[in-house]
Structure 1
């Protein structure tokens, strides 16, 4: 098995490895790697000037199987300062996920930067996460996890540091945003309020609003879940690097008994 989430096959085709498999079944991917792969495609859409992805939404249209996938991306709306992009991940039979993104012209606003949370304690000061033995390896083992606060396998809000142990695509170094999106989809899992053996809390999408690209390999995830009275919830996250906040993430959740 390659030391990566995906093996490139050429012509926009990728083969998932067992590193992508989620904690509940070996037959479906955790949606961190597919989200990062979609961002990879968005980053490859040519720009005429220096621009930055400001918001990316990944719509999850069904389980992502561990078989060959085709990735495409395009510029939907060009512009001088604001552009709209899309990407799609599909098997031969169906579309697995679609991503949409706004790309904005970059400029220097460092003198007026405000409202960003400070970084949590450094990863080296935080203990390793202890995942339940009943949760499958795959993605969980392909990422190094450090617990900042809360219980990652228990109920309630929690914060973690996470670092990929493997590449996104074999033979490539992941970009800063690819590293971010490989982790961002874990917010609902880290902050689940309910016992996953008794409840489903399935996210149908992931939306990330970016303030700046992260630096370094570690991504901080400070997450909490709220649950309404009608089977719908929301997981929200502040995403960090070791210098402070870089993005805000949110996931719509379907909540129901198993």
Structure 2
């Protein structure tokens, strides 16, 4: 599949392509591509080869339009061991996403590395996952989906391998970290408990914690959704690459009936 999620326009500006369009509207983006675009900017912000982004939190201030965007990042709190970075994504003059990230300098803890869930079966052991009626197709068609359990056709928990079929920015090689973030926001979709034709369940944020650098092209979401009694939900997932677990995600959900 050709194309990219974004075309560079210079000066931190990017033209969104139709491949960024999300399941709710062809005019607004799935949050996977814009979160990855922000992470790309964070990677380039006063870069340090020895440091790892350990946590990134995105506050989604409103729908991200399929339009020209501008992204900026800066160091909020410098430090030798720990740094706090921030970023903002704007559409026109309107901020649509604010993000904060902790960046931690590397150290050799390989001898004591432990904990976390077990490794998943690999992508080649998973079956293809189709896209049901009622889901917008831009972003969904730009990704390859393979399921170990559940998925968009099955309400409830899911374990799904995903990889992008297009570059993040046209003419650039996408990093493993950027690829991971194109996937991370999909936990609430693959583990949905509700019919998208009858209910809206949109996340107001995305939190991603990582305990090591991700590698490869494929990333898995071992995801669950919980719906509370007052219009609020929570989607969480364990993130994996083919080498094993790499981190966790969480999303707060606004849950409403379609009118």
TM range (shorter): over 0.9
Give the 3 Å change call, closer, same or farther, for CA 195–48 of structure 1 in structure 2.
Answer: closer
Deviates more, 1:52-61 or 1:110-119: 110-119
Matched, 1:196 2:224: no
Give the 3 Å change call, closer, same or farther, for CA 225–97 of structure 1 in structure 2.
Answer: same
1:70–1:91 contact (8 Å) kept in structure 2:
yes
- Aligned-residue CA RMSD in angstroms? 1.4
User: 2-side partners of 1:152 and 1:171: how far apart?
Assistant: 31
Q: Which runs of 5+ in 1 are unaligned?
A: none
The structure where strand makes up a greater share of residues is 2
Q: How far is 1:48 from its partner?
A: 5.3
- For residues 104-159 of structure 1, the C-alpha deviation after alignment (integer angstroms, 9 at most, x for no partner) is 11111111111122221111121110111332211000000001112323210001
Return structure 1 stretches of 4+ with deviation > 2 angstroms.
151-154
Structure 2 residue matching 1:30: 3-state secondary structure: coil
Q: How far is 1:98 from its partner?
A: 1.0
User: 2-side partners of 1:22 and 1:36: how far apart?
Assistant: 15
Deviates more, 1:157-166 or 1:90-99: 90-99
- For residues 162-216 of structure 1, the C-alpha deviation after alignment (integer angstroms, 9 at most, x for no partner) is 0110000001111111011100000001111111111111100000000112211
5 Å matches for 1:200-211? 200-211=200-211
Structure 1 residue matching 2:41: 3-state secondary structure: helix
2:151–2:160 contact (8 Å) kept in structure 1:
no
5 Å matches for 1:194-233? 194-233=194-233
5 Å matches for 1:124-143? 124-143=124-143
Give the corresponding residue for 1:73. Answer: 73
Normalization by structure 1: what TM-score?
0.97
2:135–2:196 contact (8 Å) kept in structure 1:
no
2:134–2:196 contact (8 Å) kept in structure 1:
no
